[in-house]
Amino acid sequence: MSTETVSQIDIDRTRGDFSYPESHTFDAGTGLTKDTIDYISKVKGEAEWIREFRHRALEVFQSKPMPTHWASKDLENIIFENIRYYLANGQKPTRSWDEVPEDVKRTFERLGIPEQERKFLAGVEAQFDSEAVYSNIKAAVGEQGVIFCGSTEGLREHPEIFRKWFGKVIPTGDNKFSALNSAVFSGGSFIYVPPGVKVKHPLQAYFRINAENFGQFERTLIIADEGSEVMYMEGCTAPKFETATLHSAVVELVAMKGAKIQYVTVQNWSANVFNLVTKRAIAHEEAEVKWIDCNIGSRLTMKYPGVILKGRKARGEVISIALASDGQHQDTGAKMIHAADETTSNIVSKSISVGTGRATYRGLVHIPKHLKGCKNNTECDALLINSTARTDTYPAITVRGTGNSSQHEASVSQISAEQIFYMQQRGLTEAQAMSLSVNGFVNDLVRQFPMEYSVELKRLIDLEMEGSVG
């Protein structure tokens, strides 16, 4: 069996490839100026300080150059003038299922979310275009004092809780795209979990892009107060369009003393989306933050979830799966900034490159001076399916002083011909055998996802692997 004979795969994207007539009551047009921002701020009825925050961010965005010295050249293909920075469906966030418009419900049907599951969800926060269309906070969650709302509502109704941390984990000037998000953000989830509250059911949000040339700039801020626990899940699919779409989110997590946050993402944007996301968490004393991140879709993803380990014994973890198919570049990774004694971090990344796909791991581990007992473990494994596939690994590790340790390991391999032969001998087709091998490669990570996601994930991997062998 020779891998050279393997044909290019044809991505099956019919699953997300549909759209409904657009009827945008609020539309800021294309391009980005001060007027766009004033318009967004006015439509949302925002406080003056938010409008000023947006204006400052716009200045930062315009003054910052595009990332150049390591970023993909593909970024140059983003034409900022052609992007719609804001539009809403003309709907306020709704609270009951009956109020959700029919076409939106149809989209849910196509996404394959069963009725049973919808009822089961602790709270559904579905983002259609740039405004949260549907926000169903289950009574139980609200009773516990948990706030789960959109960014606009969060800043308007609970400024005393959210303003303190808003834009503090990821400052506006962190990078060009976080500045862009700060200028035009809309949608996303703001969550506050009171001290000691353990949220039983995962909080979920489904995101959809449903308009051509339209970027999504959602803003998420999760604050888990002392000793609380919460799991948040986001999954994305997007319809296919002719021109590139920009998705640039900012996600900030704050885990107070002893709190636990798990943030799960399954990213399956269509193959024309630029997915440039900034995600970072602060973990205070004895807090735990875990990013579980799976990237299957998009044209180019650049995403490096990070944890700032600020308090003693804080723990950060990134579990990352990337699947890069034809024409895709999954540029993912992790950042661990140790800033207190006895902090530990763990990064496990697995990537699969198929066809002309390219998977890149970029890592940053920083253990500065005078810290004691800090530990980092990094493992990156890459699997190459075809001879045209590509994988890169670029970790950067800085360790200072004698009290700490770090280890990094990475390997690149291909599916062993013997394994495939063995399975074929037992009656599996080559494609089935490949699919099984790939699922086996990522299985230990997939198992860490919540059950409904891991099932979906396996199905997505099977879909992507379809036709990757001939």
Partner 1 sequence: MSTAILESAAVLPTTATPILSAGPASPEQAGAWEKFTALPMPVRTDEEWRFAKVKDLDLSGYVQAQPVDDAAREELLARSEGLAAVAGRMVFANDQLLAQETLGAALRQQGVLWLPLEQAVAEHPELLHKHFMREEAILGGQKFAALHASQVRAGTFLYVPRGVEIDLPIEAFHWMHGAHASVFPHTLIIAEDMAKVTLIDYYESADAAAPGLACAVNDLWLGAGANVTYVCVQNWSRTAHSFQMNSTVVGRDAQSKSLFVQLGGQHVRSESVSHLRGPGGRSDMLAVTVAAAAQEVDARTLQIHEVPNTQSDLLYKNSLDDTARTIFAGLIRVDPGAHRTDAYQKVRNLLLSDEAEANSAPGLEIEADDVRCTHGATCGQIEQEELFYLLSRGIPKNEAQRLIVFGFLNEVFERLGNEPVQDNLRKLVRAKFAAPRQR
Binding footprint of partner 1 on the chain (CB under 8 A)? 3, 69-70, 367, 369-370, 382, 384-414
The least CB distance from residue 68 to partner 1, in Å, is 9
Tokens representing 385 are 């399916």
The answer to whether 215 and 243 have CB atoms below 8 angstroms apart is: no
The least CB distance from residue 400 to partner 1, in Å, is 4
Neighbours of 28 (CB within 10 A): 23
Tokens representing 414 are 């291909």
Residue placing its CB nearer to partner 1 in the complex, 213 or 388:
388
C-alpha span between 220 and 281 (Å, rounded): 11
Residue placing its CB nearer to partner 1 in the complex, 80 or 394:
394
C-alpha span between 462 and 295 (Å, rounded): 14
Neighbours of 145 (CB within 10 A): 14
C-alpha span between 49 and 24 (Å, rounded): 27
C-alpha span between 455 and 446 (Å, rounded): 9
Q: Which regions of 175-328 does DSSP assign to beta strands (E)?
A: 189-193, 203-208, 219-224, 229-237, 245-247, 250-255, 260-268, 273-283, 288-295, 300-303, 306-309, 315-324
Residue placing its CB nearer to partner 1 in the complex, 71 or 428:
71
CA dist 76 to 68, 108, 298, 336, 444, Å? 10, 34, 16, 28, 37
Residue placing its CB nearer to partner 1 in the complex, 262 or 393:
393
The answer to whether 3 and 386 have CB atoms below 8 angstroms apart is: yes
The least CB distance from residue 230 to partner 1, in Å, is 33
- In eight-state DSSP terms, residue 258 is T
C-alpha span between 62 and 383 (Å, rounded): 39
Residue placing its CB nearer to partner 1 in the complex, 169 or 384:
384
The least CB distance from residue 323 to partner 1, in Å, is 15
Residue placing its CB nearer to partner 1 in the complex, 405 or 429:
405
- What own/partner pairs with CB < 8 Å and gap ≥ 24 does 64-70 have? 64/173, 64/175, 64/176, 64/179, 65/176, 66/176, 67/175, 67/176, 70/362, 70/394
The least CB distance from residue 367 to partner 1, in Å, is 8
Residue placing its CB nearer to partner 1 in the complex, 292 or 380:
380
C-alpha span between 229 and 434 (Å, rounded): 38
CA dist 312 to 121, 196, 202, 229, 230, Å? 34, 19, 27, 18, 21
The answer to whether 386 and 354 have CB atoms below 8 angstroms apart is: yes
Residue placing its CB nearer to partner 1 in the complex, 332 or 391:
391
The least CB distance from residue 53 to partner 1, in Å, is 28
The least CB distance from residue 356 to partner 1, in Å, is 10
**Phi/psi zone of residue 330: left (φ > 0), alpha (ψ -120 to 50 degrees), beta?**
beta
For residue 200, the one-letter residue type is K
The least CB distance from residue 351 to partner 1, in Å, is 11
The least CB distance from residue 355 to partner 1, in Å, is 11
Residue placing its CB nearer to partner 1 in the complex, 3 or 432:
3
The least CB distance from residue 102 to partner 1, in Å, is 47
C-alpha span between 29 and 27 (Å, rounded): 5
Residue placing its CB nearer to partner 1 in the complex, 181 or 406:
406
The answer to whether 338 and 312 have CB atoms below 8 angstroms apart is: no
Token pair 């925050």 in the structure block, residue: 53
The least CB distance from residue 27 to partner 1, in Å, is 39
